[in-house]
Amino acid sequence: MKYDWILFDADETLFKFDAFKGMQLMFQRMGVEYTREDFEQYQKVNKPLWVDYQNGTISAEDIKHTRFKGYAQQFNTTTAELNSAFLDAMADICSMIPQARELLEALQGKAKLGIITNGFTELQDVRLAKMGLSDMFEHVIISEEVGVAKPDVGIFSHAMEKMGLPDKSKVLMVGDNLHSDVLGGVNFGIDTCWLNAAEQPHCQDITPSYTVKCLSELKAILLATA
């Protein structure tokens, strides 16, 4: 195979991340109805926080606190409790992206696998265990633990050190986010694959090594070089 290491993003690359359903389940457990309109108001706060996080201007703790601050006041609880309740709900509704398991199983023994995610530590181990994937990845690199988020090259440098400093030409980064997964990989000097399931417009300033609509396409590309 052309690559010795395949690094994956987590959310919307390997795992479905339906935040609305997660919020619904969290509030259902609190005995509160949660609507799509409620979620849209929440996203007006949440989405810009993730942009700031990727830009390195706020921390993971800032996201946890700020996005749930209004709800904490409304329901007389803490942002920490709400964040944990949300991540618990997300773990409970977790499912895999189509063809993800088949791709991972096909790569076993042909390349080493890792994850680089901007998600939160609290969710990762639970989700991997629930999906039976705990032993499949050599390393799970989480921005909250490293202190920098994709696309910052620092998180890729950290991953490479954990991996034993392999030849960059033998490493592929796979992700659905053009501005964190792909741009981060490109800036670090490794090959990248953009999982563009939604067929979003290409960006002239960011050029992935490969673009696929589904993981079965990536599987065919990788196994053709095996």
pLDDT digit string, tens, across residues 102-156: 999 999 999 999 999 999 999 998 999 999 999 999 999 999 999 999 999 999 9
Radius of gyration from C-alpha coordinates of the chain: 18
Total domains in the chain come to 2
Residues 171 and 137 in one domain: yes
| Mean pLDDT, residues 60-70 | 95
Q: Is the pLDDT of residue 57 over 70?
A: yes
pLDDT in the model for residue 125: 87
pTM listed for this prediction: 0.93
Last residue in a domain, options 92, 111, 137: 92
pLDDT in the model for residue 204: 86
The predicted-structure confidence for 155-176, as pLDDT tens digits, reads as follows 999 999 999 999 999 999 999 9
**Which DSSP letter does residue 193 get?**
E
Residues 9 and 108 in one domain: yes
- CATH number, domain of 133, equals 3.40.50.1000
Residues 77 and 137 in one domain: no
Residues 113 and 216 in one domain: yes
Give the DSSP per-residue string, 54-112: HTTSS-HHHHHHHHTHHHHHHTT--HHHHHHHHHHHHHHT--BPTTHHHHHHHHTTTSE
Residues 101 and 174 in one domain: yes
| Mean pLDDT, residues 207-216 | 97
Locus of tokens 């592929």: 172
Residues 163 and 58 in one domain: no
Asked if 226 and 110 count as a contact pair (C-beta separation under 8 A), the reply is yes
pLDDT band, residue 89 (cuts 50/70/90): very high
Last residue in a domain, options 92, 121, 137: 92
pLDDT in the model for residue 225: 65
Q: Is the pLDDT of residue 226 over 80?
A: no
Could you give phi then psi for residue 76, rounded to 5 degrees? 55, 50
Residues 67 and 104 in one domain: no
Residues 148 and 63 in one domain: no
Length of the chain: 226
- CATH number, domain of 49, equals 1.10.150.240
CA 187 remoteness from chain centre: 18
- Alpha-helical runs (H) found in 93-200: 100-107, 121-130, 143-146, 153-162, 183-188
pLDDT in the model for residue 216: 96
Residues 107 and 139 in one domain: yes
The predicted-structure confidence for 174-209, as pLDDT tens digits, reads as follows 999 999 999 999 999 999 999 999 999 988 899 999
Asked if 30 and 75 count as a contact pair (C-beta separation under 8 A), the reply is yes
Locus of tokens 């709900």: 89
Residues 99 and 209 in one domain: yes
Asked if 223 and 106 count as a contact pair (C-beta separation under 8 A), the reply is yes
Residues 88 and 108 in one domain: no
- The whole domain housing 36 covers 19-92
Burial of 164 (0-12, 13-18, 19+ CB in 10 A): exposed
Residues 145 and 180 in one domain: yes
Last residue in a domain, options 58, 92, 126: 92
Catalytic sites, residue numbers? 9
Helices vs. strands in the chain: H and E counts, helices first? 11, 6
Percent of the chain with pLDDT over 90: 94
Token output for 33: 């109805």
Could you give phi then psi for residue 19, rounded to 5 degrees? -65, -35
